Amino acid sequence: MKKKLGALARVLVSVGILVYLFNSIFRDEASRTADRVVQAPPATVAALAQELGLNAEQVKLILTQCADPQEKKADLNKLDWMERERFVWNVGPPHLGEVFRRVKVLWFELGIACMGLVCYFGIVRWQWILQVQGLELRFWRACSIFFIGLFFNAFMLGSTGGDVIKALYVAHETHHKKAEAVATVIVDRVIGLLVLFVIALVMMAFNYSRVFGDVRLRSFAIVTLVVVIVTVGGTALTFWRGFADKFFGLRGWLQQLPKYETLRRMVGACRVYASHPVVLGKTMLITVGVHVFSMLSIVCIGKGLGIITNNGMVDYFLYLPIINSVTAIPISISGFGVREGMYVKMFDEVGVASSSALALSLFGYFAGLFWSIIGAVFYLTHSKEITAAEQEAAASA
């Protein structure tokens, strides 16, 4: 019951944030539209209304109830709540739709292709991590499980929810080493997040004058630095053999935990990577490629939408690691609402209209969703193979 209420709460959070965000953007678009009508010469109002998709009743509403002749602006707050919301939701969506319709298909396809490279690099990285544990999965089996996890990521919490499904599938594939198999998924995710945080810190260091001049960026830099230190410290403690015995009673407390033996084996599996620095180095390098192509996907989509920021690609490579880091936190379903809100707030600082920033976020999600749908195909066609351990058990029976 608690799990269902928790899931429901997160769905409501996602929907609530999105409704608030869309309402704010629609209101901005409606206000800009009304301002243009008020500022237009009387002789051109009819032609402008047709261009903006306004009917005679809406034009009359703007000119008679919203217009401020002195300021040459429209004030939608002069309308009562019901009338204002009706006007906002009638005028706002078509204008946002125009932003979506102007995307150039070729740039969007390039964005999808970049996300495809992200998937490929992710599969190769995971295979390297599996091999350290002596777990050999054929490329297409690893590919199938990877895409199944990606499929579930599309509607589970944060951008990491599919890892649970991925862990379940790989545990079945490697029945004789379940704990080690699950550990590979954890290590894969930790490396991905840690490299993302480091990229965010490096970009903020290169743009330190902007970061220190922005309270939000400065706060995030401090929080990210703390997270990196805690993650590295926690990883170091995991690699430290006998750590639990250094503190009185800690080992006994841990042994009372459910699935202690599995947990102990998982920690032991994680320690194996400390003796494989070359593999760790390779996985970190390819993870940089994962995040770079993920950001290039958004850059391509931004080009397709005709978005021009104040500092070009620098703005993308400064803001996107921050946005992706926050989206990974399991606050809402697949990061919905949180991601879009951050795009709007951050890109507004560099001259991008709210509607364009929202479109950029959603098209970026659609580029990833394309590969998630591929994951649905793998999910429907994935056959559970009999593992070596199960074959031996069957033979001895």
DSSP letter for each residue of 36-75: HHHHS-GGGHHHHHHHHT--HHHHHHIIIIIEETTTTEE-
* 208-235 average pLDDT score: 75
Task: Kindly state the tokens that stand for 212.
Answer: 């220190």
**pLDDT the model gives residue 39:** 84
Q: What angle do CA 127, 193, 230 make, to 5 degrees?
A: 125
CA–CA separation, 340 vs 152, rounded Å? Answer: 20
Task: Kindly state the tokens that stand for 378.
Answer: 């793998």
CA–CA separation, 207 vs 12, rounded Å? Answer: 36
Please state, for a pLDDT cut of 70, what percent of the chain lies above it: 76
Name the pLDDT band for 71 (thresholds 50, 70, 90).
low
**pLDDT the model gives residue 378:** 85
**pLDDT the model gives residue 25:** 77
